[in-house]
Amino acid sequence: MQRATRLQRELALLATEPPPGITCWQDGKRLDELRAQILGGADTPYEKGIFDLEIIVPERYPFEPPKIRFLTPIYHPNIDSAGRICLDVLKLPPKGAWRPSLNICTLLSSIQLLMAEPNPDDPLMADISSEYKSNKQLFLLRAREWTEKHAGQ
């Protein structure tokens, strides 16, 4: 009950006051399955891309973080080919930084920030991470190509 009320409140807020470049909605009738879209930020290799994400809200939410993954392929050191995201706020302590005071809006904003500023020191994709560190121009080129191919309108 508490989860449903909170989710409805969060979704209403996301609908009326969404963060710039982020939309989120209920996928069908189920309140625990959400979809989101993040627009690639200006001056990033993801610019003009539209990235679809899946959000699965666990039974214990907000005491457990939602599972979020990219459905749109993205060339990024912290996001793997299955769309899984390496981000501390998506994990429970002690390894993660999830707290019940965080919400889906905060998580999506954090993912949008991660897209703009990858963390090559905590990669899911070691090869992309080393490319990001050693040859950033090549990384940017490939990330732009992937964005045009997979996330272009």
Which secondary structure element, helix H or strand E, spans residue 2, and what is its range?
helix 2-16
Q: Express each pLDDT in 67-86 by its tens digit.
A: 999 999 999 999 999 999 99
Over 70: is that where the pLDDT of 1 sits? no
24 a catalytic residue: no
2-51: per-residue pLDDT in tens? 889 999 999 999 999 999 999 999 988 888 999 999 999 999 999 999 99
Kindly state the tokens that stand for 141.
């080129």
Say how many domains are in the chain: 1
Sign of the Cα torsion 18, 26, 109, 63 reads positive
Given the residues 38, 86, 87, 107, the one annotated as active site = 86
Phi, psi of 80 (to 5 degrees): -90, 180
Q: What is the pLDDT of residue 71?
A: 98
Return the CATH number at 70. Answer: 3.10.110.10
- pLDDT for 31 equals 87
Which residue segment(s) compose the domain that 146 sits in? 1-151
pLDDT at res. 28: 87
**CA-to-CA distance for 8 and 4, rounded, in angstroms?**
6
Across residues 138-146, what is the average pLDDT? 98
